[in-house]
């Protein structure tokens, strides 16, 4: 990373510096869940496809010794190298934005499979309210409930229009689950019964029912029994080893791009995946893009990959950054409210409580999505008329498997180090539980993504700058959900309880969730969005942008199910474009 005034790499290059490769039908930038879905669907249809992944190739053979908490959970062995590329952060425009030097608040995936390798495996659907949040909020509570600086916007698709894509994704990866009390229309059941309900989860379930809520097992992209996907990929049942989040699965139980869509794409003979290929520019000519320029990160050799269609399918922040450095789209300006690229960056709030008990429990066993949750205080499932916020959160208790290094919950009043701390930590290891929530985040005028004007990455490109802070909506929702968590916690009769404090300002540390959204919105027109309902860019018919960046706001649960659904929608759009061309309806 450098601090100089050198021109960006894209401005210093000429075509004769890079090797020109053979043109293909489709190239994807990033091969996580979104990119691998597009690759697989297009390759199965007979199109020639190339997937460019800036990290290294990896697969089951690389995960045999994955149970190393220090390497993967503490030192982030599967994550992005921030010495080469990171983001800068500030709460407001009045602050100086500084680079994120160490992963903290969110964990950016790296390597083949992206963040879909180290995820927990929770697969929720957004509610009908999420897809028509502006319309439904105004119908029930009147206009401007939150104030003029909140930028509520409907999706260009309703839940019913999205439902078939949800079903396709869920069946493709295999979901172990059961429908919740507030579940909207479903066209098919889950592929497998839920994961095992442990005594701890049964106890939380009983407490949730005691306070009048409707708990159910979290839908998990983790096999509860032997499972074969519609594409013929076999998954083994979960061993409940407790190494999901920040780890890959060596049992092929957790669905990952590397054991679902990537092998399907490659076995067609129409797909070429190139790793260590960092895309630095989208090439454009008039109203079309012509391909991408990328750097081999091992040799630093530059290549141009021409393509009939380019699909940006990397992480939220990289998709937005590539459009900005390639000068495609109209960047958002918070002072005027005009522009769309970088608009509506949203995150989540994460209220929670730690509970302490006298009796020991077998908490070392678990899985990333092993848990019980309820939706009674999510979306618009409860009346907000007398509340100063909208939406809500899924409340849950998970048994993800306690590991020795970072599982150090202790009762208040315990010394922070020394013999007494060690004794208390060991005692609480199998006697402490957490109840948590992921609260929805609404788009706010002054929360957005842009290019940094000081810092550059290892390739000479400006870093992406995040301007973000919690709002009154966030703090009010946090306080409300904390109260509901404490109700359920008290029903479990703990020995002690510590609730997470309500932060005034957002900070880039500690870890919260890797559920960043917005910046490349989908919508009805170029005036309110970057892409249309098929994730096709308004300014270039053969450019598609897919991922959580398309969300107009962030929901009260994990985003991967919706990203997967949108990826199948995007693949459908690419195939329609390949057949007919032009702007898709």
In total, the chain counts a number of residues equal to: 585
| Active-site pick, 118, 235, 391, 515 | 515
Whole-number Å distance between alpha carbons of 5 and 554: 36
- The answer to whether 40 and 261 are in contact (CB under 8 A) is yes
Candidates 27, 548, 570, 550; CA nearest to 282 is 27
- The answer to whether 171 and 188 are in contact (CB under 8 A) is yes
Candidates 491, 218, 500; CA nearest to 352 is 500
> Both tokens of residue 296?
């081999």
DSSP 274-321: EESEEEEEEEEETTEEEEEEEEETTT--EEEEEEEEEEE-S-HHHHHH
> Both tokens of residue 254?
């957790």
Candidates 511, 564, 581; CA nearest to 100 is 511
Angle (deg, nearest 10), helices 159-173 and 560-580: 100
Across 247-256, b (16+ Cβ under 10 Å) vs e yields: bbbbbbbbbb
CA 565 to chain CA centroid, Å, is 13
The verdict on whether 391 is a catalytic residue reads: no
Candidates 377, 489, 376; CA nearest to 439 is 377
Whole-number Å distance between alpha carbons of 67 and 60: 13
DSSP 418-458: SHHHHHHHHHHTTTEEEEEEEE-B--BTT-EEEEEEEEE-T
- The answer to whether 315 and 85 are in contact (CB under 8 A) is no
Whole-number Å distance between alpha carbons of 574 and 70: 42
> Both tokens of residue 46?
């007979």
DSSP 42-111: HHHTT--EEEEESS----GGG-TT---HIIIIIS-TTB--TTT--EEEESSTTSPPEE--S--SS--B-S
- The answer to whether 287 and 539 are in contact (CB under 8 A) is yes
**Which residues carry out catalysis?**
515
């Amino acid at each position: 990373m450098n601090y100089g005034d050198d021109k960006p790499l894209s401005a210093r290059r000429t075509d004769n510096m890079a090797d020109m490769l053979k043109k293909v039908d489709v190239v994807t930038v990033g091969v996580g869940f979104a990119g691998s879905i597009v690759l697989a669907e297009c390759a199965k249809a007979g199109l020639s496809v190339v997937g460019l992944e800036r990290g290294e190739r990896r697969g089951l053979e690389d995960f045999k010794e994955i149970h190393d908490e220090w390497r993967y959970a503490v030192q982030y062995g599967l994550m992005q190298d921030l010495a080469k590329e990171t983001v800068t952060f500030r709460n407001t425009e009045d602050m100086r934005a500084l680079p994120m030097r160490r992963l903290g608040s969110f964990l950016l995936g790296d390597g083949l499979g992206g963040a879909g390798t180290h995820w927990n495996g929770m697969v929720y659907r957004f509610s009908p309210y999420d897809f028509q949040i502006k319309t439904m909020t105004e119908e029930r509570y009147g206009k401007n409930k939150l104030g003029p600086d909140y930028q509520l916007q409907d999706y260009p698709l309703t839940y019913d229009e999205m439902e078939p894509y949800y079903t396709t994704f869920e069946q493709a990866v295999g979901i172990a689950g059961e429908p919740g009390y507030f579940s909207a229309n479903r066209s098919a059941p889950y592929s497998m019964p839920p994961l095992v309900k442990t005594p701890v989860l049964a106890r939380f379930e009983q407490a949730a029912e005691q306070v009048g809520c409707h708990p159910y097992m979290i839908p998990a992209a983790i096999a509860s029994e032997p499972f074969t996907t519609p594409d013929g990929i076999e998954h083994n049942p979960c061993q409940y080893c407790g190494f999901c989040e920040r780890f890959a699965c060596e049992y092929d139980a957790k669905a990952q791009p590397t054991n679902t869509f990537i092998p399907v794409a490659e076995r067609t003979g129409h797909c070429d995946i190139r790793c260590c290929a960092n895309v630095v520019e989208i090439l454009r000519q008039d109203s079309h893009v012509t391909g991408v320029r990328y750097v081999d990160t091992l040799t630093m050799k530059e290549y141009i990959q021409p393509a009939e269609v380019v699909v940006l399918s990397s992480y939220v922040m990289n998709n937005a950054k590539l459009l900005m450095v390639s000068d495609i789209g109209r960047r958002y300006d918070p002072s005027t409210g005009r522009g769309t690229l970088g608009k509506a960056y949203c995150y989540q709030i994460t209220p929670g409580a730690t509970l302490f008990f006298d009796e020991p429990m077998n908490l070392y066993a678990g899985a990333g999505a092993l848990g019980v949750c309820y939706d009674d205080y999510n979306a618009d499932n409860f009346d907000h008329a007398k509340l100063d916020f909208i939406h809500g959160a899924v409340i849950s208790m998970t048994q993800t498997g306690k590991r020795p290094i970072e599982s150090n919950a202790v009762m208040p009043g315990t010394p922070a180090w020394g013999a007494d701390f060690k004794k208390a930590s060991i005692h609480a290891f199998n006697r402490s539980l957490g109840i948590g929530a992921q609260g929805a985040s609404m788009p706010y005028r002054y929360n957005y993504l842009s290019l940094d004007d000081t810092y550059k990455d290892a390739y000479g490109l400006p870093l992406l700058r995040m301007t973000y802070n919690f709002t009154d909506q966030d703090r009010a929702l946090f306080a409300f959900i904390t109260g509901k968590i404490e109700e359920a916690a008290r029903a479990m009769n703990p020995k002690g309880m510590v609730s997470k404090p309500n932060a005034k300002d957002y900070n880039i540390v500690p870890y919260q969730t890797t559920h960043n959204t917005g910046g490349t919105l989908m919508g009805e027109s170029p005036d309110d969005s970057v892409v249309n309902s098929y994730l096709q860019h308004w300014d270039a018919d053969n450019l598609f942008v897919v991922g959580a960046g398309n969300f107009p706001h962030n929901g009260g649960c994990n985003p991967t199910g919706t990203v997967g659904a949108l990826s199948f929608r995007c693949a459908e759009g690419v195939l329609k474009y390949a057949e007919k061309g032009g702007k898709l309806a």
